[in-house]
């Protein structure tokens, strides 16, 4: 009898064990707001594709501490109004752990307060320094500071003996912020801005603006600050008019499609950028080289298009967030703290070291100067 009862007990116990579900991996929701379509798709398209690629690799390797990442991508079309709506939806309805993006500075500034109020980490892919200066507790960004880009440009101008320049910028958040930095920093380098103009981001012809600038014989060089197709248009209009003063662009020029759009007019354009665009030329001792080459290979083999610095911003945002999740788990405040404490973290834009005072984490050495030569980006070695 005892033996029968024992067997029955063991059988029931076995059935109970079978009824208990296996421990399931958790899911961590991450929101992303990118301009996948619309006028800034050259930013948001590579960013969205990169973010998906990174998340796929993380999940393929077993997730983070066993938890899978669910990436929820919202296409803002570069509309600040859509970015606001999506940010609220991701935080309040989807309950995401964090948001990466938006693609543009204007959108990022519009949702900065929403992230703060929602106590949700935001890692922007917008470049304007005002996104993180002054510091907001939950807001970070991966592109290099526009003030560093200005200093790199002005440093080269000094070497070239250029002291009188024209500044032109698109009427976007990025353009306005960059123009402000160009004007603010110029005196430190002995640069006089003799003309400063703003054009509409939808402009398709800047020949009238070029003619106006050409009339000022004091202008020795032009700096264009935008992330819109006008980067190619102004180059073409200047060269078509026979105006051959040096043309400098912002770090928003880091997409070979601009060179292709401008054609021969792009030759000689000088601009600051991260090292991604010239990864193959870097010495093997460079702490970013292996990472840059892997990202380029992975992206280009998967999507059959050239990698750009913009996709790199999303790569950095997602890998920084992943590292923080590894420490903080599925907890917004712990992840925020982990991002702020991240040190010596190699990314495509540079080696990141965040702090309570610095939510960009990069210094001026994250930039190198590049130029367009024979239709390609190469390291600039001076004139």
- Distance (Å, whole) CA 140 – CA 354: 9
pLDDT for the residue numbered 25: 61
Q: What percent of the chain has pLDDT over 90?
A: 87
* pLDDT of 309: 94
Q: What is the DSSP string of 184-212?
A: HHGGGGT-EEEEEEEE-TT-S--HHHHHH
* Same fold for the pair 27-144+288-352 and 146-273+368-379: yes
Percent with pLDDT over 70 in the chain: 93
Q: Determine the pLDDT at residue 227.
A: 81
State residue 5's pLDDT score: 39
213-240 burial by CB neighbour count: b if 16+ within 10 A, else e?
bbeeeebbbbbbbbbbbbbbbbbbbbbe
User: For the CA atoms of 143, 149, 151, 155, what is the dihedral angle to 10 degrees?
Assistant: 140
Quickly tell me which residue has 């990864």 as its tokens: 279
- The pLDDT tens digits for 63-88 are 999 999 999 999 999 999 999 999 99
Average pLDDT over residues 5-23: 40
Domain ranges for the chain, please list them. Answer: 27-144+288-352, 146-273+368-379
Q: Is the Cβ–Cβ distance between 348 and 288 less than 8 Å?
A: yes
| Predicted local distance difference test score (pLDDT) of residue 164 | 98
Which CATH number is 27-144+288-352 given? 3.40.50.2300
Predicted confidence band at 382 (pLDDT cuts at 50, 70, 90)?
Answer: confident
Q: Is the pLDDT of residue 13 over 50?
A: no
Spatial distance between the Cα atoms of 251 and 260, rounded to a whole number of angstroms = 17
- Phi–psi pair at 123, nearest 5 degrees: -115, 100
> What value does the mean pLDDT take over residues 370-381?
95
Inter-residue contact 224 to 240 (CB < 8 Å):
no
pLDDT higher than 70, residue 4: no
For the chain, give the mean pLDDT: 93
* pTM of the predicted model as reported, rounded to 2 decimal places: 0.88
Of 87, 50, 250, the closest CA to residue 167 belongs to: 250
In angstroms, rounded to a whole number, what is the distance separating the alpha carbons of residues 346 and 319? 10
pLDDT at 236: 97
C-beta atoms surrounding 346 within 10 Å: 17
State the pLDDT confidence band at 161, using cuts at 50, 70 and 90: very high
Work out the angle at residue 82's Cα, subtended by the Cα atoms of residues 78 and 85, and round it to the nearest 5 degrees: 145
Which of 83, 85, 97 lies closest to 31 in space, CA to CA?
A: 97
Tokens for 301, please give them: 């083999």
Q: Does domain 146-273+368-379 have CATH number 3.40.1190.20?
A: no
């Amino acid at each position: 009898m005892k033996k029968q009862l024992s067997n029955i007990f063991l059988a029931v116990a076995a059935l109970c064990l079978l009824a208990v579900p296996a421990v399931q991996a958790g899911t961590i929701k991450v929101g992303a707001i990118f301009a996948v379509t619309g006028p800034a798709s050259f930013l948001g398209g590579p960013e969205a594709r990169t973010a998906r690629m990174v998340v796929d690799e993380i999940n393929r390797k077993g997730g983070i501490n066993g938890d899978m990442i669910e990436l929820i991508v919202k296409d803002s079309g570069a509309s600040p109004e859509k970015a606001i709506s999506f940010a609220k939806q991701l935080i309040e309805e989807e309950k995401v752990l964090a948001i990466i993006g938006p693609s543009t500075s204007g959108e990022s500034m519009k949702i900065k307060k929403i992230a703060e109020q929602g106590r949700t980490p935001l890692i922007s892919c917008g470049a304007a320094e005002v996104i993180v200066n002054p510091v907001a507790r939950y807001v970070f960004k991966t592109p290099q500071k526009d003030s560093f880009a200005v200093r790199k440009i002005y440093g080269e101008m000094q070497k070239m003996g250029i002291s009188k320049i024209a500044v032109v910028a698109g009427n976007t958040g990025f353009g306005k912020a960059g123009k402000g930095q160009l004007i603010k920093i110029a005196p430190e380098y002995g640069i006089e801005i003799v003309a400063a103009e703003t054009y509409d981001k939808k402009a398709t012809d800047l020949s009238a603006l070029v003619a106006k600038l050409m009339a000022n014989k004091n202008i020795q060089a032009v700096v264009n600050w935008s992330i819109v197709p006008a980067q190619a248009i102004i180059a073409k209009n200047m060269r078509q008019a026979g105006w051959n003063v040096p043309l400098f662009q912002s770090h928003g020029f880091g997409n070979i499609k601009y060179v292709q759009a401008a054609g021969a007019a792009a030759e000689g354009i000088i601009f600051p950028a991260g090292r991604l665009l010239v990864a193959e030329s870097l010495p093997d001792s460079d702490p970013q080289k292996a990472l840059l080459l892997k990202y380029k290979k992975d992206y280009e083999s998967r999507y059959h298009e050239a990698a750009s610095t913009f996709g790199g911003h999303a790569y950095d945002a997602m890998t920084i967030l992943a590292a923080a999740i590894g420490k903080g788990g599925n907890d917004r405040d712990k992840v925020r703290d982990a991002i702020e404490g991240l040190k010596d973290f190699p990314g495509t834009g540079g080696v990141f070291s965040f702090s309570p005072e610095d939510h960009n984490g990069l210094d001026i050495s994250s930039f190198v100067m590049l130029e367009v030569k024979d239709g390609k980006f190469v390291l600039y070695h001076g004139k």
